[in-house]
Amino acid sequence: MSLPVLSLDEIRNQVEQCQACPLWEGRTHVVFGEGDPHARVLIVGEAPGKNEDLQGKPFVGAAGKFLDELLEAAGLKREEVFIANVLKCRPPSNRNPQAHEIQACAPFLRLQTKSIDPLVIVTMGNFATQFILKTGVGITHLRGTVQQAGKFTVLPVYHPAAAIYDRSKREVLLADFQQIGSMVRDRMAQSSDIQALD
């Protein structure tokens, strides 16, 4: 069954009332995601951490600061992309998301993707990449490649938090985001050429 196209406000209302998995009991805030509701680039991370849970915003800690640097390397501003996570509530002690939590929360990311209708989806880290691409292949093999999920071009990269503990991933991420910036500009140019032909 195909999903309806809802506005982000309608989806947010559903998420804020959600008790579909046990993570709702420990949350301070749901972290719905934020950015341009018609962004050409949808960035998908794993789950809120402590700071995100406290503030109700995605990527606000050290990983968020690095994400801002990565976006700058891509020639993108935070307000012109949309940043969301696979899970909208924080797993305790930042443990990995569990399969039943991902399954329970998945409809919200699908609805968000349908509503935003981006040109490309950047998946950060294993959980987001494996969820979007429906694959068991790890991010080490997929990062830097161009993938497809339905009509969406998917660009997998390491999670920015991984670069905080492993500095060698920092340069890899910066190079991947520069490549993402060029690709997004190409896709936007193609898309405006197609619209001009309509």
Q: How far is the CB of 28 from ligand SF4 (least distance, A)?
A: 12
Binding of residue 88 to ligand SF4 (CB under 6 A): yes
Q: How far is the CB of 31 from ligand SF4 (least distance, A)?
A: 9
The size of the chain, in residues, is 198
Binding of residue 43 to ligand SF4 (CB under 6 A): no
Question: What is the residue whose two structure tokens read 């972290």?
Answer: 31
- Distance between CA atoms of 106 and 97, rounded to whole angstroms? 12
Binding of residue 84 to ligand SF4 (CB under 6 A): no
Binding of residue 70 to ligand SF4 (CB under 6 A): no
Taking the least distance from each CB to ligand SF4, the nearer of 13 and 19 is: 19
Taking the least distance from each CB to ligand SF4, the nearer of 101 and 176 is: 101
Binding of residue 23 to ligand SF4 (CB under 6 A): yes
- Distance between CA atoms of 31 and 50, rounded to whole angstroms? 11
Taking the least distance from each CB to ligand SF4, the nearer of 89 and 128 is: 89
Binding of residue 15 to ligand SF4 (CB under 6 A): yes
Of the candidate spans 16-24, 59-67, 68-76, 170-178, the one that interacts with ligand SF4 by CB under 6 A turns out to be 16-24
Of the candidate spans 5-13, 65-73, 101-109, 132-140, the one that interacts with ligand SF4 by CB under 6 A turns out to be 101-109
DSSP codes joined into one string, the chain? -PPP---HHHHHHHHHT--SSGGGGG-SS----EE-TT-SEEEEES---HHHHHHT-SS-SHHHHHHHHHHHHTT--GGGSEEEES-SSPPGGGPPPPHHHHHHHHHHHHHHHHHH--SEEEEEHHHHHHHHHT----HHHHTT--EEETTEEEEEE--HHHHHH-THHHHHHHHHHHHHHHHHHHHHHHHHHHHHH-
Q: How far is the CB of 37 from ligand SF4 (least distance, A)?
A: 19
Binding of residue 8 to ligand SF4 (CB under 6 A): no
Binding of residue 162 to ligand SF4 (CB under 6 A): no
For binding to ligand SF4 (CB under 6 A), which residues are involved? 15, 18-21, 23-24, 30, 87-89, 101, 104-105
